[in-house]
Structure 1
């Protein structure tokens, strides 16, 4: 994947800043990424997390479940990122935004359908 995503996140957070924002160690952030609770990709040469996927000091509630469904459907991290940011007005503009609102169930349903 190139260092930019066509329809991507508006803002990014590097891992040390995310560690501080979440109030956990940097090794915990790496563990969360390995465990599929967070999505991190290279952006501008540095591994970063889309800022929209972290609300206040927590990861969006439905993100780990959606990431798990996307991985089960064969998506790697870059493909999952593209899917989350594909324009879709029926889920608040794109699935990533939908995860933070009342459209989260619809986003999960669509991610689940990808595996079939």
Structure 2
């Protein structure tokens, strides 16, 4: 029998997803630029129901959350793929409180970056 996982250790799916054409419209940039942001690893996109989507919470109109590209780089340097990075960003952490993704929107973004950097060691 395995130990039960506490609710704080469980990843949650983002509340809202945005497909790439809608995101391009929201950011007022061409959809090709959205694809470039994903290729440059400045934006996280994963397939859901066969469609490439971005968690809406990671985008602050009119731009990507300020610290997101740095956090994504740190997670990739620690060996995380996109799905794993998404899971990390959306796993509740009582010490933040909330999820790292939610913390990126506030004054705890630097702490999220510090924690992502520690994953590489």
In 1, the alpha carbon distance for the partners of 2:29 and 2:120 equals: 33
Determine whether 1:55 maps to 2:55.
no
In 2, the alpha carbon distance for the partners of 1:89 and 1:55 equals: 24
Query: Which residue does 1:31 correspond to in 2?
Result: 36
| Cα displacement string for residues 3-56 of structure 1 (whole angstroms, at most 9, x for unaligned residues) | xx9511000000000011111111110000000110000012210000000012
> Where does structure 1 lack aligned partners over 5 or more consecutive residues?
none
SS in 1 for 2:42: coil
Give the length in aligned residue pairs. 112
Tell me which of 82, 91, 94 is aligned to 1:89. 94
In 2, the alpha carbon distance for the partners of 1:28 and 1:81 equals: 21
In 2, the alpha carbon distance for the partners of 1:9 and 1:69 equals: 21
| Contact 1:92/1:103 (<8 A) preserved | no
Q: TM-score, normalised by structure 2?
A: 0.89
The alpha carbon displacement at 1:92 in A equals 3.7
SS in 2 for 1:91: coil
Query: Which residue does 1:7 correspond to in 2?
Result: 12
Query: Which residue does 1:102 correspond to in 2?
Result: 107
Distance change in 2, residues 1:92/1:101 (3 Å): farther
Q: TM-score, normalised by structure 1?
A: 0.92
Query: Which residue does 1:79 correspond to in 2?
Result: 84
Distance change in 2, residues 1:68/1:85 (3 Å): same
> Where does structure 2 lack aligned partners over 5 or more consecutive residues?
1-9
